[in-house]
Chain A
């Protein structure tokens, strides 16, 4: 069946969807990248996202102010990150296991809070799209093709993309970035040079978790404007995979997130356009691509050498 849709409209649709869908992945993955670069594998991202999603949503629900929601999500995310830090850095628990514990904690607590204070799915007025009005009649949105793709998103989506060069800057141009990388690559050497590995890891994990909280809020107060139990549906785990996919580099993570979400948008369009692909194959596409990319042998090289390895001063 043919459509009145032009190819341009379809491409705009796919890219616009892809960019929007990448938002939560970007926040979560960049945050997780910081944690992993410092040597801590935080598998609790999904749970932190749920907590951020709930507190972000509930704050907006109560105050009507979206920025209060953003703040609440960041704070709750950071608190979850502190919890993870205490367990995995100070107490040196097995990181893979404690991350899963944190995930279940976030999943359970966000559901419990939802049931206790909301009880049913409600909606809020979240962030709205910004079209970059230059004069009252002209906006960046009016640029043919590019406008509708790039200039019709919410603040949180733009923020997610701005976060990428910012992360590059922090990692490569600041002392802190250097310390984070040192803590993840060779903590003993870093320690001998006067870097407090414990503090660095605490900061990296907490910062990363705050971003994960924001990732959740980007779902609940920007993309969807609702809260539902377990609404992340495993996004946090995809976000962890995207860090591996992106070889622990911000631009790599960006490429991964965009690829994943654009292919997702593409497969949705493929179904809508009645292309002769079974839906099961279509929904498999993004994951298939991720697996293929992960399997590329050269990627392993960039993994922080001390990832998942606890650090104790004076040992070795």
Chain B
């Protein structure tokens, strides 16, 4: 008996561990090192608080008294970079507030030793400063230890987003700079100013705002000119000016004619750039003072807004808890251009900046591969995709639950549905569209209990995303007459059995498959194309049938080899199937279900074009994925919501077609223009009915 308990508690401990990992990682991911090390503080904080809380509550600033700010800096107030940007901002705030009589600024420089910094922070707090700023990620651990001892003092630190709220600390502010935004704009500018087509980056340490800036810069350069070369080197130090100079020399030897870099070390690099007459792009502080003739532009951090707000909050009795971010949109990041820079180049950079400010361009999405990495692609996608879809202005609040056979990142069947529902949520807000989902429901019995659970929990629409769930659905649906259920690939809504609240949906994959077939027929040189299918049923079967028809309608003599792996998730077997097709002479492949990542991997290795379906698979292998037929579930879901608002809870068969926007063709860069034309003609033909897809006997 005791053993059983031990085992039970072990399992419990493990599950707790997993849960803790999940929660912690999700919220604290962007924070570098502080949270784990500062954890012990959490237990002390709540006890320390109540005793002093009463005194601190009415701690608003008495009229006429000086507001006292202290800053602990890792370098100097004249480093032309990180520390100076903050100091300059505080100086401006001081001027605004009415000079030194109203606001005092004390600072300690060169606090590269964290222990010394901790002592300085404690000293300032002891001396009654109202706001103590620890200007570096490395100070976080100390800060969270010190802050609870001084509940009347506000503390601030950055680059960080963690205010210690979860540890029970309420007098710490956090701040960060979205340096990738300005970096992106400067990258666009640099790409246009470069004649050699090579850019050099002198980075300090690959972390924090330096990494963000550099990633943004590289992405911006590639966005403007996809073939530009961005050489990046990190010196491993913030202050090693000599090494930074050497790095700059190296970049110039390697052909770079525009340089950038970050941290106080860059003064060394700027010196070299000046000597060699190479253009420089600055960040953090305005670096043009050092070499006005070669510094073309700088991204400048204006910390004014966040710190004004912190002072305001402190005066009104709020000691901390807020996290700030400088961005182009909130004016915290500003771009200064030198007079001599080519006006057309500046105009393009400014256009990109405006796009970022308006939210039309999300640098983070580009960095994470979610958005198109180049200007042309960005425009193309806009024309083909988003522009054709219009959201109804308003929908009824709806709670949607998904029961999925695989995962929401399977790059295929489940992801396509989840992405669409998530798009709806992003558009209407989480209070209008509520989403819950269960993944990996390969066991139909488990799925059935999940479906019932969701219905019990009051979800409006429960989607069982697989043909295998149909039987269970028809048993469950009558017990929940107010809930709408949906399933697919299917055309049976259960009307014959007297079920009235089930929608059936069916992606007409034969349509997209046909278009892909047309592309394949044009692409193949060997006259053989291969299909890596999962199971010969549902939308996978439609895809194969349509593909076959498309190929043969274009070139009747092209041979289509079809193989099924017998599984949706057997990645290794799908890879082997792709190998087999290639050995058998195929030079264009397609396939469906989450297994295909294995096949795409093989295509990537062998340089064989791949035609995708379901979700956009371009991220895995942008070089070989030529086109994708994406399932866009938004129209389908919206019509369910619409039917519900009219009192119709089910009984309709909803199709995803090219005509209703349920399928969307995306053509990637590598696909020759004339083939794109042919594919678009096929799309048009299917939409207007002039092309009839005839299934061949197989």
- Which A residues lie at the B interface, using CB under 8 A? 1, 3-5, 9, 12-13, 17, 20-21, 24, 86-87, 91-93, 98, 101, 105, 107-109, 111-112, 114-116, 119-123, 219, 223-226, 228-231, 233, 235, 264-265, 268-269, 271-274, 279-280, 282-284
B566 touches A271 (CB 8 A): no
A5 touches B585 (CB 8 A): yes
Query: Bound complex: CA of A225 vs CA of B601, how far in Å?
Result: 7
A268 touches B576 (CB 8 A): yes
Rounded to whole Å, the gap between the CB of B617 and the closest CB of chain A is 9
Determine which of A3, A24, A265 lies in contact with B580 in the assembled complex, contact meaning CB atoms within 8 Å: A265
Q: Report chain A residues within 8 Å CB of B22.
A: 112, 116
Query: Bound complex: CA of A284 vs CA of B26, how far in Å?
Result: 42
B584 touches A3 (CB 8 A): yes
Query: Bound complex: CA of A109 vs CA of B16, how far in Å?
Result: 12
Given A116-B26, A268-B577, A226 contacting B18 (CB threshold 8 A): no
Rounded to whole Å, the gap between the CB of B260 and the closest CB of chain A is 25
Closest residue of B by beta carbon distance from A227 = B597
Tell me if B29 is interfacial: C-beta within 8 Å of chain A.
Answer: yes
What does the 1/0 interface line of B560-603 toward A look like (CB < 8 Å)? 01111111011111011101110111000000001101100100
Tell me if B97 is interfacial: C-beta within 8 Å of chain A.
Answer: no
Given A112-B22, A268-B577, A272-B580, A3 contacting B572 (CB threshold 8 A): no
B407 touches A283 (CB 8 A): no
Closest residue of A by beta carbon distance from B528 = A3
Query: Bound complex: CA of A151 vs CA of B467, how far in Å?
Result: 44
Q: Report chain A residues within 8 Å CB of B597.
A: 121, 224, 226, 228
Rounded to whole Å, the gap between the CB of A245 and the closest CB of chain B is 19
Rounded to whole Å, the gap between the CB of A64 and the closest CB of chain B is 14
Q: Report chain B residues within 8 Å CB of A108.
A: 18
The A-contacting residues of B in range 640-698, CB under 8 angstroms, are none
A123 touches B14 (CB 8 A): no
Give the segment of B4-12, B148-156, B216-224, B498-506 that binds chain A. B4-12
User: Which of B406, B573, B580, B604 has the most chain A CB atoms inside 10 A of its CB?
Assistant: B580
B580 touches A233 (CB 8 A): no
Q: Report chain A residues within 8 Å CB of B581.
A: 272
Given A21-B576, A264-B573, A272-B563, A279 contacting B7 (CB threshold 8 A): no
A279 touches B584 (CB 8 A): no
The A-contacting residues of B in range 403-460, CB under 8 angstroms, are 406-407, 409-411, 439-440
A4 touches B585 (CB 8 A): yes
Given A91-B6, A272-B584, A283-B565, A224 contacting B575 (CB threshold 8 A): yes
Rounded to whole Å, the gap between the CB of B504 and the closest CB of chain A is 24
Q: Report chain B residues within 8 Å CB of A12.
A: 583
Q: Report chain A residues within 8 Å CB of B595.
A: 233
Rounded to whole Å, the gap between the CB of B526 and the closest CB of chain A is 10
Closest residue of A by beta carbon distance from B599 = A224
Closest residue of A by beta carbon distance from B562 = A271
Closest residue of A by beta carbon distance from B605 = A225
Please name 27 pairs of A and B residues whose Cβ atoms are closer than 8 Å in the assembled complex, sorted by A.
A4-B585, A17-B579, A20-B579, A21-B573, A87-B7, A92-B3, A101-B11, A112-B21, A121-B409, A121-B597, A121-B619, A122-B620, A224-B575, A224-B598, A224-B601, A229-B440, A230-B406, A231-B569, A231-B571, A233-B595, A264-B576, A268-B576, A271-B562, A271-B563, A272-B561, A273-B561, A284-B566
Determine which of A111, A122, A273 lies in contact with B407 in the assembled complex, contact meaning CB atoms within 8 Å: A111
Other A-B pairs beyond A21-B572, A283-B567, 7, CB < 8 Å:
A112-B18, A114-B409, A116-B21, A233-B567, A233-B570, A268-B577, A279-B533
Query: Bound complex: CA of A189 vs CA of B434, how far in Å?
Result: 62
Given A123-B620, A271-B563, A13 contacting B7 (CB threshold 8 A): no
Query: Bound complex: CA of A124 vs CA of B580, how far in Å?
Result: 22
A123 touches B621 (CB 8 A): yes
Q: Report chain A residues within 8 Å CB of B585.
A: 3-5
Given A109-B18, A223-B575, A265-B576, A228 contacting B410 (CB threshold 8 A): yes
Q: Report chain A residues within 8 Å CB of B29.
A: 116
B566 touches A93 (CB 8 A): no
Q: Report chain B residues within 8 Å CB of A109.
A: 18, 21
Q: Report chain B residues within 8 Å CB of A235.
A: 572
Determine which of B10, B14, B566, B620 lies in contact with A283 in the assembled complex, contact meaning CB atoms within 8 Å: B566
Query: Bound complex: CA of A201 vs CA of B210, how far in Å?
Result: 50
Given A112-B22, A223-B572, A229-B407, A98 contacting B583 (CB threshold 8 A): no
Tell me if B113 is interfacial: C-beta within 8 Å of chain A.
Answer: no
A268 touches B580 (CB 8 A): yes
Q: Report chain A residues within 8 Å CB of B563.
A: 268, 271-272, 279
Q: Report chain A residues within 8 Å CB of B26.
A: 116
B584 touches A13 (CB 8 A): yes
Top-3 shortest CB links A-B? A283-B566, A271-B563, A279-B564
Determine which of A112, A231, A273 lies in contact with B584 in the assembled complex, contact meaning CB atoms within 8 Å: A273
B580 touches A17 (CB 8 A): yes
Tell me if B53 is interfacial: C-beta within 8 Å of chain A.
Answer: no
Rounded to whole Å, the gap between the CB of A108 and the closest CB of chain B is 6
A91 touches B3 (CB 8 A): yes
Q: Report chain A residues within 8 Å CB of B3.
A: 91-93
Given A123-B601, A228-B594, A271-B562, A13 contacting B572 (CB threshold 8 A): no
Query: Bound complex: CA of A268 vs CA of B604, how far in Å?
Result: 20
Given A225-B601, A268-B580, A280-B566, A121 contacting B572 (CB threshold 8 A): no
Tell me if B368 is interfacial: C-beta within 8 Å of chain A.
Answer: yes
Q: Report chain A residues within 8 Å CB of B406.
A: 229-230
Query: Bound complex: CA of A5 vs CA of B583, how far in Å?
Result: 9
B409 touches A229 (CB 8 A): yes
Determine which of B10, B619, B620, B621 lies in contact with A87 in the assembled complex, contact meaning CB atoms within 8 Å: B10
Closest residue of A by beta carbon distance from B17 = A109
Q: Report chain B residues within 8 Å CB of A112.
A: 18, 21-22
Rounded to whole Å, the gap between the CB of A167 and the closest CB of chain B is 22
Determine which of A3, A93, A226, A229 lies in contact with B410 in the assembled complex, contact meaning CB atoms within 8 Å: A229
Tell me if B482 is interfacial: C-beta within 8 Å of chain A.
Answer: no
Tell me if B530 is interfacial: C-beta within 8 Å of chain A.
Answer: yes
Query: Bound complex: CA of A152 vs CA of B187, how far in Å?
Result: 43
Tell me if B559 is interfacial: C-beta within 8 Å of chain A.
Answer: yes
Q: Report chain B residues within 8 Å CB of A269.
A: 580, 584
Query: Bound complex: CA of A87 vs CA of B562, how far in Å?
Result: 47
A13 touches B601 (CB 8 A): no
Rounded to whole Å, the gap between the CB of A27 and the closest CB of chain B is 13
B409 touches A119 (CB 8 A): yes
User: Which of A115, A225, A228, A283 has the most chain B CB atoms inside 10 A of its CB?
Assistant: A228
Query: Bound complex: CA of A223 vs CA of B576, how far in Å?
Result: 9
Closest residue of A by beta carbon distance from B580 = A268
Given A4-B585, A123-B604, A224 contacting B10 (CB threshold 8 A): no
Tell me if B347 is interfacial: C-beta within 8 Å of chain A.
Answer: no
Q: Report chain B residues within 8 Å CB of A93.
A: 3-4, 7
Given A108-B18, A119-B368, A121-B620, A24 contacting B584 (CB threshold 8 A): no
Query: Bound complex: CA of A21 vs CA of B571, how far in Å?
Result: 11
Tell me if B331 is interfacial: C-beta within 8 Å of chain A.
Answer: no
Query: Bound complex: CA of A224 vs CA of B533, how far in Å?
Result: 18
Query: Bound complex: CA of A312 vs CA of B569, how far in Å?
Result: 41
Tell me if B536 is interfacial: C-beta within 8 Å of chain A.
Answer: yes
Rounded to whole Å, the gap between the CB of A113 and the closest CB of chain B is 8
B411 touches A121 (CB 8 A): yes
